[in-house]
Amino acid sequence: MRSLIFFLSIVLLSQVLLASEVNIYTSRHYDSDASLYSEFTDLTGIKVNIISGKGPALIERIKSEGVNSRADIFFTVDAGNLWKVQKEGLFQEIKSRSVLATVPENLRGPNNEWTAIAKRARVVFYNPQKVSREEIVDFAYEDLADGTWKNRVVIRSSSNMYNQSLVASLIANVGLERTENWAKGLVANFARKPQGNDRSQIMAVANGEADLAVANSYYFGMMLSGSAGEQQLEAAKKVRVLFPNQKSRGVHINISGAGILKYSPNSENGNRFLEFLLSPKVQKYMVDRSYEYPVLKQILPSPEITELGLGFKEDEISVKKFGELNPEAIRLMDRSGWK
Ligand code: FE
């Protein structure tokens, strides 16, 4: 009897230890994520430990910790960043069947090393006071290089990953040569030297400094919600959004995503955490706060983003391409004089 009790308590103890925690390295910076994590703990009994930082710093940390790393999950934005970790061989395959069944293949790593958690569209913002309807009929990214837009376009610098991924998608879709000519044409159309973040490009269009801006969709939702302050709310009201390439391949889609690290001490918990992030309730909770698009088709984005219109065509090229072609994209942008 005593040995049975002893045996059972060992089983119980090991279960508690095994199910105890999940360590998440994240470059996402939403205060609201904290309540998500406690919900996961309530649901599963698994404690969530968060290490947050900038993407590149976290990647360095994971590398230097090597086999001793306690990190289970790396959660970040842009497929290009996930690619960097994958290239170092620092991810393991995601095993969760429900994750693999939920997320379309074009939004996962080559061997399921990482998965999209949410989507973002890189769209074009315009000033309706200065841009006529005819000018933007069937607008495509390719049109940003057209001479009619001389001194009218703003976009952030070429060192920004979002732009590198956009250029990589163009290389994949239309080829190196056409993309290079496009980049040169785009640079020639700049209203100013690239500066600031995505939101400051939208602000420049609202202020009349430029007529078109390229920026990620969720920044607009954030501005429109008023959570970023009165000035940004007023600016957002002055601009309109365009989803490029609706008559061709669709708008450029990038992701927020996560993977389970190779030396994860709690990979089982890691898989469960990814399942949690991709569950309907959590998807809704996240996109209502991040203004991204959900991965789950049945979930609506936030009201601000829903208002922009749904059912637009998305470029379904695999987001893995953005990592694969990232070095090529950087060199091309450099040759084109994109600062
Ligand atoms: Fe961003």
Q: Do 113 and 13 fall into the same domain?
A: yes
Query: Is residue 191 located within the same domain as residue 66?
Result: no
Average pLDDT of 169-182? Answer: 98
pLDDT band at 14 (very low <50, low <70, confident <90, very high): low
Asked if residue 43 belongs to a domain, the reply is yes
Q: How many domains does the chain have?
A: 2
In three-state secondary structure terms, 26 is strand
What CATH number has the domain bearing residue 29? 3.40.190.10
- 21 belongs to a structural domain: yes
How remote is the CA of residue 291 from the centroid of ligand 1, in Å? 11
> In the predicted model, is pLDDT for residue 29 greater than 90?
no
* 251 Cα to the center of ligand 1, angstroms: 17
CA of 102 from ligand 1 middle (Å) equals: 24
Calculate what percentage of the chain has a pLDDT beyond 70: 94
Query: Got the DSSP string for 45-70?
Result: --EEEEEE--HHHHHHHHHHHGGG--
For 48-81, write each residue's pLDDT tens digit: 999 999 999 999 999 999 999 999 999 999 999 9
**How far, CA to CA in Å, does 285 sit from each of 45, 271, 289, 306?**
20, 20, 7, 15
| Residue 207 within any structural domain of the chain | yes
325 and 293 in a single domain? The answer is no
In 3D, which of 260, 326, 322, 268 has the Cα closest to residue 119? Answer: 322
Q: Is the pLDDT of residue 19 over 60?
A: no
Q: How far apart are CA 270 and CA 261, in angstroms?
A: 9
The alpha carbon of 218 and the centre of ligand 1 are apart by a number of angstroms equal to: 8
pLDDT digits (tens, 9 = 90+) for 120-169: 999 999 999 999 999 999 999 999 999 999 999 999 999 999 999 999 99
Does the reported pTM lie above 0.75?
yes
Assess whether 206 and 326 both reside in one domain. Answer: yes
Show the domain range for 150. 121-252+318-335
Answer for the pair 27, 54: CB distance below 8 angstroms, yes or no.
Answer: yes
Residue 36: per-residue pLDDT: 86
289 C-alpha to center of ligand 1: Å?
A: 13
- Asked whether residue 108 is assigned to any structural domain, the reply reads yes
Q: Per the structure block, which two tokens stand in for 136?
A: 């933007």
Contact in structure between 122 and 129 (CB atoms under 8 Å): no
Residue 19 Cα to ligand 1 midpoint, Å, equals: 33
pLDDT at 129: 96
- 6 C-alpha to ligand 1 centroid (Å): 53
